[in-house]
Each structure stands twice: as structure tokens, then as C-alpha cells.
Amino acid sequence: MVLRSVASRLALGVLVGSAIVLIVTGGLLLNHTRDQMLRQTEREAAAVSDAAATRIQRRIDSVAKVGQVVAGLLSSRRDQAPALIHDVLAVNPELIDVSAAFVPRDVNHLRPEDAPVARRDASGLLVATTRLSDPEPYWSTTWFVRGLNCDHGCWQPPFRSAARNETLIGYSVAIPGKDVPVIGVADATISLGWLQQLLGELAKPEHASAFVADANGDFLAHDWKSYIGTRGSKPLLSAISRQQSPVRITPEEGGRVSEPVWVYFVPIRGTHWTFGLSMPEREVLADLRRTYLVDVLLGMIALMGVSLITLVITRRLMAPLNVLADRAENVSRGDLDFELPDIRRNDDVGRLTRAFDQMRRQLAGHIETGQRIARDQARMASELEIARQIQLALIPDPHWLADDGRLEVHAALRPASAVGGDLYMYFALGAKHVCVMVGDVSDKGIPAALFMARTITLARTIATHARSPSDILGTLNRELCKGNDTCMFVTLLCGVIETESGLLSLASAGHEQPVLHAGGSAILVDVETGPALGLDREARYPVRVLTLLGGDTLLMYTDGVSEAHADNQRLYGTHALLDSVARVDDGANPEAYVERVLEDVDAYTAGAPAYDDIALLALTWHDTDAEGARIHAAVHS
């Protein structure tokens, strides 16, 4: 229900849209900041690693230098080896022992001077001894053989000293000879305790752990002492071999860690050692996560604030529109008498309010006009209905049967609109004649209806003084030509029948030829026609005379029948009319002819609106005693 208002939906849209923007931009910013922090951490780690590597290198360089100096001196002072190495050990307190092992000249006659060694015990006292007392002949040990091949010196693998209970490591240098390239090995041994101590003295980042690994990947020193002497994980060794620093190691990759860590390392020159720093990714990005969460929280608070402000402003701006919406409902109910918001603004709302007010005024005017038009139309419809009733009152009843039963007439009038211009008429002329007429006025509607009424009135008056349809039409024509400035005219078929003999006289003023149904067939009666009434005062109308026999029916009609059409624009036509009449059973009354033709016309037009008025009049002669030949002749007056 809350979201039904535009203000609420707009505020929600602003909130959702801004949240999407915040999430997208926040994600991009988080990724960018993460990269920045990783690079910053990398730089810090590189600085610490370089510093540590330099300190370690300086320390081992001094040991290497001692070893190289001792080897150089012993190349020419073999016999002074015990005293020399004792003096060197004495002036280098960081050394644990110094050895001088020569290739034996005769293993069966070994001398202490062949392998002297000076050691510093745990209390710092110097002890001179010899490697001849070692369990294994020194010349066959691995360190001695490796040392013979280290012309420029090399670090031996670390080893555990049971006497000192600490890990030691020796630097060996081959002693050059005068006649042979190598005569022995000079070795200086130090404890790795200083290396472990140095790791503890480094100014490492919080939560970082340092390590030093040798060429095999074994940890020489490690902040996690349990790792000392063990070998690094496969991902770490692989990264060291590829010099890929930094490297991200995860437990899933086989790293010896419980969570993802970043490892930064640098090689220590002069050795095959590697100094490294390991930092948990969680700790590296901890500040970033905290900052991001704070930023997100502040961003959400800002979005809520913006949405709230948007809601308030929108509601204030939409208030006049809400009033207009309520007024629009009043308009839909037809209530136009209401107050509109005070118009003091020139913005869109002000323009809309003014336009709404103008629309209301125009709508009120249109409604008033519509109501007036509706009243006028109702009055006009009423007047047309009255005119229709008056027009129908001018024509006789649809059905008439003579007293002797020999003549029967049935007619129908179907205006295309409320009133029309077609007409039919029949009335008695004295005691022995009946006059029948069917006509069609040139126009439609009220003018045609008035012209039709005038025609009927004049025809009835004129027919009382004339007996021939030619005279009736001639006189009626002259009367209709008077004052006919609108040049309206009427086609009219007039017939006079003798009620004793069935002799029928017909005259046509431009009207359709009638249809005679006799003996089961339908034919057109060829009636020579004059011009329509109302156009030519001097017009003449020939008469066609024929005798009706018992059962004959004469059908008179207007062009609303023959010219009826539907959407295909094809006219119903005379042939269809003759076929319709021919299908009426012999002996049928005239009503059957009228109904059959109207049904066929309706079926042909398929319910389409009537194109023209229709008037039909069927005249049936029932005198079955009538015999003799049919008179069918034209008479010209």
C-alpha cells in the first residue's frame, strides 16, 4: 500500500538504484584498494627482506672472509695450522670452531697437524684438538669431499651438535697447494642461533613471520621454531625456484598453512639461501575489510538519508498532483464544481494545474453543448417520429380487400430513415374503379417526405376529377411544377382498375416497370413512360391497358428493390425480382408477394443498412369466373 504513491516508488527507486551503484563502485573500489594494499605490503615486505638479507649477508660474508683467509694462509703454512686456527678462533668470537683438514700424505702415519681443529665450548673456552679422533676418517666424509671442490668457498649443510645442543653450519674453502691444486679444506663453523636471533630482531609487520631457507628449501631459521630443519611446502619451493615473489599460498594448494598467506622473499647473495616473510592474507586485508565495512555502513546511511530527502521533496512536489488526481476522479464522476490548488508556480506542476483548470472549463462547455445537442437530437427524433406518424397516416392501410372479394391489395413502405420519399396509395374512384399508385421522390429525408405528402394530397384531389391515369399524372405533373424551385421530382406509376372487369390502365412517370405474375410466370409489363413529375409541364403519359384474369397479381415497386445491394455493390436487379415473384405459388394472396420480395431482398443485402426507401404494392385479381383473351395494348391520348 505504501508503494502506491509516486513519491514512495521514486524514493525506493533512488534507494535501490543508488545501492546498485554503491555496490558496483564499492566492489571496484575494494578490488582497486586491495591491489593497492597488496602492493604496499609487498613494498614493506621487500624493504624488510632486503634489510634482513643485507644483515645476514654481512654476517656470513665475515665468516666466509675468515675461511678464505685461513685457506690462503694454510696453503703455505701447513705446519703452523694448529696455532693459526687457534688464533683465528680467538679473534672471531662469533665462530664455534675453525678446522684445517689436509689431504693425508700417508693414512698409515697420520699426525695431529694433518687435521687440527680449534673449538669454543659452551663456556667460551678455546680447546685445540684434532679430527683424527672423529669416528669416521675425515678424508672420506661428505663435508671434506665437498670442501675440496669449493675453490671459492661454500656453505655446508647445517648439522646438529649434540655437545652444544644447537644447530651449526660450516663454511668450507679448498686450501690451494703449490704442486697440486688442492691440499686440504679450511672450515669455519658458526651457530645458527644468531640467525634465529636476527629474525626476532627484525621490524616485521604485525602478524608476519620470517624464515631463512637453504638451497634445498630446508628452513635454517624460522619464527615458528618447530619449522626449523623441516622443508618448505611444495608451492613455496616452486615459487622460490621460479623467483616468483610475492606468491599466494593456500591450504588447498598444499601449503603448510591453515589459511591463505602471502609470502615475500629475496635471495641472499653469496649463498643459496632465501630470506622470506609470510603474512596471512586475512591480516594483510584486515584494515581494508574494516574500512570497507565502515564505508558501506556510511554509504547505506547516506542512501537512507538521500531516499528520505527524496521522499519528502517528492511528496511536497507531488502534493498538487495528488489534488489534481482527486479532482480527475471528480471529473470522471461528472462533478466539475471543485477547488483547484492555488496556482503560483510557473513550473510543470503550475502549467499542469492551469491546463487542468482550462480543460475543466472546456469540458463543462462541451458537456453543456453535448446536452444541448442531445436535447436537440431528442427533440428532432421526436419531431421525426411525429413526421413519420403523419407520413404513415397519409398512406392507406397496408391491406385492403374489396367487398365482393375480387380485388385484393397489400402494400408495404420501408423508409431507409425515419421518414422517406417513397409512397404507395390506393383509393376508390367512384363505385367501379380503384386507383393504385407507387412513387419515389428524388431526395430523401424531410424534404422528400414533404414532397411525398404534397404528391399524395394532390394525387387524391386530382384523381377525383379524372378517370384515366394519363390525366391524373398530367394534372399532377403541372401542379408539382408550380413553385418547384428546388427541382425536386417524383417518379410515379399510376393504375386504374375497373372492379367489374379487371381492366387495368397503367401510366408511368419515369417509374419502374411493374411485374405481372400470371400462369406461374413473372414478366415485366411494358409500360411506356413519360418524364418524372415536377420537371416538365408539357409532359405526356401514355396509357397501357391490360386485362387481369383470375389469379393474376400485379406487383408495383420502387427502385429501392431493384437497386438494393450489399458490400459487393452488385444490384439486386430486375432478374432477381422476377425470379422472386415467379417462386410465389399460384393463387397466393398479395401479402405473400410482398413478404417474399422483402425476404429475398433482406437475404441479398445480408442485413446491410438500407440504401434507399422501399415501397411495394401487390394487386391480385381473384375473379376466377373471368374468361376470355387478355387485352394488352398501349393507348396514346
Using one digit for the tens of pLDDT, what is the confidence trace for 309-335?
888 888 787 777 788 888 888 888 878
**386 shares its domain with 400:** no
Higher pLDDT pick, 367 / 555: 555
Determine the pLDDT at residue 435: 94
In a domain, residue 319? The reply is: no
- The SS3 of residue 369 is helix
**Site of grid cell 373471368:** 626
Task: Find, among 200, 265, 284, the residue nearest to 46 by Cα.
Answer: 265
Beta-strand relationship, 529-530 and 503-509: parallel
For residue 245, the 8-state DSSP code is -
**351 shares its domain with 429:** no
**Model confidence at 632: pLDDT above 70:** no
Q: What is the pLDDT of residues 453-484, one digit of tens each?
A: 899 999 989 988 877 899 999 999 999 999 88
Residue type, 431: A
CA distances from 508 to 55, 525, 548 (A): 140, 11, 18
**Model confidence at 628: pLDDT above 60:** no
In a domain, residue 438? The reply is: yes
Domain boundary (354, 378, 394) is at 394
CATH for 227: 3.30.450.20
Assess contact for 228 and 207: CB atoms under 8 A. no
**268 shares its domain with 135:** yes
pLDDT band, very low/low/confident/very high, at 30 (cuts 50, 70, 90) = confident
Q: What is the pLDDT of residues 558-576, one digit of tens each?
A: 999 998 887 777 889 999 9
**375 shares its domain with 415:** no
Assess contact for 320 and 353: CB atoms under 8 A. yes
**507 shares its domain with 490:** yes
Distance of alpha carbon 384 from alpha carbon 377, whole angstroms: 10
Domain total in the chain: 3
Higher pLDDT pick, 303 / 185: 185
- The model carries a pTM of 0.49
In a domain, residue 634? The reply is: no
Q: Side-chain half-sphere of 622: how many Cα atoms within 13 Å? A: 13
Determine the pLDDT at residue 4: 64
Q: Which residues contact 357 (CB under 8 A, 6 or more apart)?
A: 340, 343
Distance of alpha carbon 171 from alpha carbon 159, whole angstroms: 12
Q: What is the pLDDT of residues 192-248, one digit of tens each?
A: 888 888 888 888 888 888 999 988 888 888 988 888 888 888 888 888 888 888 888
Distance of alpha carbon 557 from alpha carbon 337, whole angstroms: 58
**345 shares its domain with 273:** no
In a domain, residue 323? The reply is: no
**411 shares its domain with 388:** no
In a domain, residue 301? The reply is: no
Distance of alpha carbon 429 from alpha carbon 420, whole angstroms: 27
**405 shares its domain with 390:** no
Residue type, 256: R
In a domain, residue 12? The reply is: no
Distance of alpha carbon 217 from alpha carbon 238, whole angstroms: 10
Task: Find, among 478, 476, 473, the residue nearest to 494 by Cα.
Answer: 473
CATH for 507: 3.60.40.10
Determine the pLDDT at residue 532: 95
Bridge partners for 464 per DSSP: none
**Model confidence at 444: pLDDT above 80:** no
Q: Does the CA dihedral 251-256-260-264 come out positive or negative?
A: negative
In a domain, residue 628? The reply is: no
Please give the biggest Cα pair distance in the chain: 188
Determine the pLDDT at residue 418: 72
Q: What is the pLDDT of residues 248-284, one digit of tens each?
A: 889 888 877 888 898 888 888 777 889 898 888 888 7
- In what helix (H) or strand (E) does residue 188 lie, and over which residues does it extend? strand 182-191
b/e for 537-558, b at 16 or more Cβ within 10 A?
A: eebebbbbebbbbbbbbbbbbb
Q: What is the pLDDT of residues 477-515, one digit of tens each?
A: 999 999 888 889 999 999 999 998 889 999 999 999 999
Determine the pLDDT at residue 158: 81
**426 shares its domain with 550:** yes
Range of the domain at 400: 396-621
Q: How many angstroms separate the first and last alpha carbons of the chain?
A: 94
Domain boundary (394, 410, 428) is at 394
What DSSP string runs through 418-482? SS-SEEEEEEEETTTEEEEEEEEESS-HHHHHHHHHHHHHHHHHHHTT--SHHHHHHHHHHHHHT
Share of the chain above pLDDT 90, in %: 30
Bridge partners for 399 per DSSP: 410
Determine the pLDDT at residue 633: 57
**Model confidence at 637: pLDDT above 50:** no
pLDDT band, very low/low/confident/very high, at 155 (cuts 50, 70, 90) = confident
In a domain, residue 318? The reply is: no
C-alpha Rg value of the chain to the nearest Å: 66
**375 shares its domain with 455:** no
**449 shares its domain with 358:** no
Distance of alpha carbon 395 from alpha carbon 417, whole angstroms: 17
Domain boundary (349, 367, 394) is at 394
Determine the pLDDT at residue 592: 95
Higher pLDDT pick, 98 / 14: 98
Compute the average pLDDT of residues 285-306. 83
Assess contact for 407 and 504: CB atoms under 8 A. no
Distance of alpha carbon 60 from alpha carbon 94, whole angstroms: 10
**411 shares its domain with 359:** no
Q: What is the mean pLDDT of the chain?
A: 86
> Quick one: cell of 378?
431528442
Assess contact for 273 and 232: CB atoms under 8 A. no
